[in-house]
Structure 1
Amino acid sequence: MMRRFMLAAALTLAAATAHAAEPIEGNWKTASGETAAIGKCGTAYCVTLRTGKYAGKQIGRLAGKDGEYSGEITDPAEDKTYSGSGSINGNSLKMRGCVLKILCKSQTWTRL
């Protein structure tokens, strides 16, 4: 009886750990090689470039949890803002920006 209880507890803990939320906060290497920092700003997460031509510029604001985020993303070269989203899978962050939800571009960033 005790062995079954311990096995059930271990399986439950393993399942809970496997479905733990992936944190978006931290430093990420963008598709173009710059470093972007993502951190809390109010109730959302702000995306700020740390290196490159646009270092110091905030390029996004996302809200969400459990590895899925949505909000706005700005292309710093064109200074245009799009509806955006981000989804985390391990050490990869897939960022997506869209115009009218039909014309979209995606990039994959890597956690540093």
Structure 2
Amino acid sequence: MKTLTLTLAAIVGLAGAAAADPLEGMWRTAKDDNGNSGLIQVAPCGAALCGTLVQAFDANGNQMSSPNVGRQIISQTVAQGGGEYRGKVYSPDRDRTYNSRLQLSGNTLSVNGCVLGICRDGGTWTRQ
């Protein structure tokens, strides 16, 4: 009985790992208006995906402290099919949250967002 329970637990664990969304993982952002970038950890949050800033880097690529570390940069993000995702993305350099369109292609992620008809190209993020 103990062996059966462990086997079932392992199968359930592997099934969950196999079902991970391709967007999940660590992403290095493009440089912002100040030349800064960050590492975003994307993981499930409820029925959507969210991305939290876990490290910040200055224009020279050196790790720096930031009040935004720990903040959700990506939120309410849901797959639309064909590598496209829609949700929200927060831009620390402009202190704005945009309606986002993310396009996943292999290990790159094109990030774009709009708010009140004003759109911004968030550049290309790379998987780490």
- TM tier relative to shorter chain: 0.7 to 0.9
**Residues 89/77 of structure 1: CA separation in 2 closer, same or farther (3 Å cut):** same
- The answer on 1:70 being equivalent to 2:86 is yes
Deviation at 1:101, TM superposition (A): 4.2
Q: Distance in 2 between matches of 1:34 and 1:102?
A: 24
Question: If the length of structure 2 is used for normalisation, what is the TM-score?
Answer: 0.64
Q: Distance in 2 between matches of 1:34 and 1:69?
A: 20
Deviation at 1:65, TM superposition (A): 4.6
- The answer on 1:105 being equivalent to 2:109 is no
Deviation at 1:82, TM superposition (A): 1.1
Q: Distance in 2 between matches of 1:35 and 1:65?
A: 24
Q: Distance in 2 between matches of 1:57 and 1:104?
A: 20
SS at match of 1:77: coil
Q: Give the number of equivalent residue pairs.
A: 91
Matches within 5 A, 1:85-96: 85-96=101-112
- The answer on 1:57 being equivalent to 2:61 is no
Structure 2, gaps ≥5 residues long: 1-20, 32-36, 57-65
Q: Which string of whole-angstrom CA distances, capped at 9 and with x for unpartnered residues, describes residues 45-92 of structure 1? A: 001101012211111211115421001111123321111111100100
Among the aligned pairs, what percent are the same residue? 38
Q: Distance in 1 between matches of 2:116 and 2:54?
A: 29
CA RMSD of aligned residues (A): 1.7
